[in-house]
C-alpha cells in the first residue's frame, strides 16, 4: 500500500480486471494529448479513447519538443507521454510542460522502465507511470485519476520497484546527487541531440540558436560531466536514460548516410 501525500492520492490497481469509475458525471470531456514517436501506438490510443464521450483527443505529436509546443497552444488536461522519444525525451518534455502549464497533468507511458527513469519522471512532475502492457481499463482509470489531481502508478511497477520508497526519495532535498543533476534544461537538450548523432549545425537548427551557442553548451557539458570527448557524453546520455542504444545507433546511421550523400 502506497502512502498518500497531502492533498494527493496514489492509486494502484491490478493491471487487468480493474473496475473503472464512471466519468459520465463530468460535463466537460477530459482533453488528452498523445505524444509517442511510433505512429501505430498513437493511432491505437486514439482509436481506444476517441469513441468515449468523456475523453476528447485534442492532438497527437511525435516527440517531446512537439509535445511542449502543443501543450502551450492547446492546454490539454492530460498528456499521455512516451518515455523515450527522439529530439526531446518524455522526462525532459514533462519538466518543461509542468513549468509552462502547471494545470496539465502528464502520464508517462513506457514498455520498460528502470529505477532512475521512474524517479526522474516523478521529480519532473509526472502524475503517474503506466507500463504499455496495461489494459484499457487501467489506462482510463489513470487518466481519470490524473484529471482529478491524483497520482497513479501501475501495479506492475510494484513487481520490480518499491514505489513508495521512490516517491519518498523524490520528495527529499533537491541538492545535486550526481553531475547530471547540475545540468540546465538546455544542456540536457543538447546532450540528447549530441547522443543522437546531430552535428553542431543540426543542434543549432533544432534549438534555433547559433552554432557558437551550441559549442558553448557542449563545453559546459564536458566540464560538468568530466567528459573528455563526444564518446564520453554519449555514454553518459545512455547511462542516465536520456537516450537508448537503439536511438544512438539510428542517429549515427542517419548521420553517416547524410554525410555519404
Domain ranges of the chain: 10-171, 179-256
Q: What is the pLDDT of residue 172?
A: 66
CATH topology of domain 179-256: Arc Repressor Mutant, subunit A (1.10.10)
The yes or no reply on domain 10-171 and CATH 3.40.50.2300 is: yes
Domains 10-171 and 179-256 share a fold: no
Q: What is the pLDDT of residue 170?
A: 67
Q: Is residue 255's pLDDT more than 60?
A: no
Q: Is residue 2's pLDDT more than 70?
A: no
Who has greater pLDDT, 227 or 255? 227
Who has greater pLDDT, 59 or 134? 59
Least confident of 23-37, 41-55, 85-99, 103-117: 23-37
Q: What is the pLDDT of residue 200?
A: 95
Q: What is the pLDDT of residue 1?
A: 41
pLDDT one-digit tens code per residue, 177-194: 566 678 888 999 999 999
Q: Is residue 95's pLDDT more than 90?
A: yes
> What is the DSSP secondary-structure string of the chain?
-PPPPTT--EE---SSSPPPPP-TT-SSPEEEEEE-S-HHHHHHHHHHHHTSTTEEEEEEESSHHHHHHHHHHH--SEEEEESS-SSS-HHHHHHHHHHH-TTSEEEEEES---HHHHHHHHHHT-SEEEETT--HHHHHHHHHHHHTT-EEE-GGGGGT--HHHHHHHHHS----SSGGGG--HHHHHHHHHHHTT--HHHHHHHHT--HHHHHHHHHHHHHHHT--SHHHHHHHHHHTTSS-HHHHHHHHHHHHHHHH-
What percent of the chain stands above pLDDT 90?
A: 51
Amino acid at each position: 500500500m502506497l502512502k498518500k501525500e497531502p492533498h494527493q492520492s496514489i492509486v494502484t490497481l491490478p493491471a487487468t480486471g480493474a473496475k473503472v469509475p464512471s466519468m459520465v458525471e463530468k460535463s466537460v470531456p477530459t482533453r488528452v494529448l498523445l505524444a509517442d514517436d511510433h505512429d501505430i501506438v498513437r493511432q491505437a490510443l486514439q482509436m481506444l479513447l476517441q469513441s468515449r464521450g468523456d475523453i476528447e483527443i485534442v492532438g497527437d505529436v511525435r516527440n517531446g519538443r512537439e509535445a511542449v509546443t502543443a501543450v502551450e497552444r492547446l492546454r490539454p488536461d492530460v498528456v499521455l507521454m512516451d518515455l523515450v522519444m527522439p529530439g526531446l525525451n518524455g522526462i525532459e518534455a514533462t519538466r518543461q510542460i509542468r513549468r509552462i502549464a502547471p494545470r496539465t497533468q502528464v502520464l508517462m507511458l513506457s514498455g520498460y522502465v528502470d529505477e532512475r527513469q521512474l524517479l526522474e519522471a516523478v521529480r519532473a512532475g509526472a502524475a503517474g507511470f503506466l507500463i504499455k502492457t496495461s489494459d484499457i481499463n487501467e489506462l482510463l482509470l489513470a487518466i481519470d485519476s490524473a484529471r482529478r489531481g491524483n497520482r497513479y502508478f501501475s501495479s506492475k511497477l510494484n513487481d520490480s520497484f518499491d514505489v513508495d520508497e521512490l516517491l519518498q526519495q523524490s520528495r527529499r532535498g533537491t541538492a545535486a546527487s550526481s553531475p547530471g543533476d547540475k545540468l540546465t534544461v538546455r544542456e540536457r537538450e543538447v546532450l540528447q541531440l549530441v547522443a543522437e548523432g546531430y552535428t553542431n549545425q543540426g543542434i543549432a537548427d533544432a534549438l534555433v540558436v547559433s552554432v557558437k551557442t551550441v559549442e558553448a553548451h557542449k563545453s559546459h557539458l564536458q566540464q560538468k560531466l568530466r567528459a573528455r570527448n563526444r564518446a564520453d557524453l554519449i555514454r553518459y546520455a545512455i547511462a542516465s536514460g536520456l537516450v537508448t542504444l537503439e536511438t544512438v545507433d539510428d542517429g549515427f546511421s542517419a548521420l553517416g548516410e547524410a554525410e555519404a550523400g
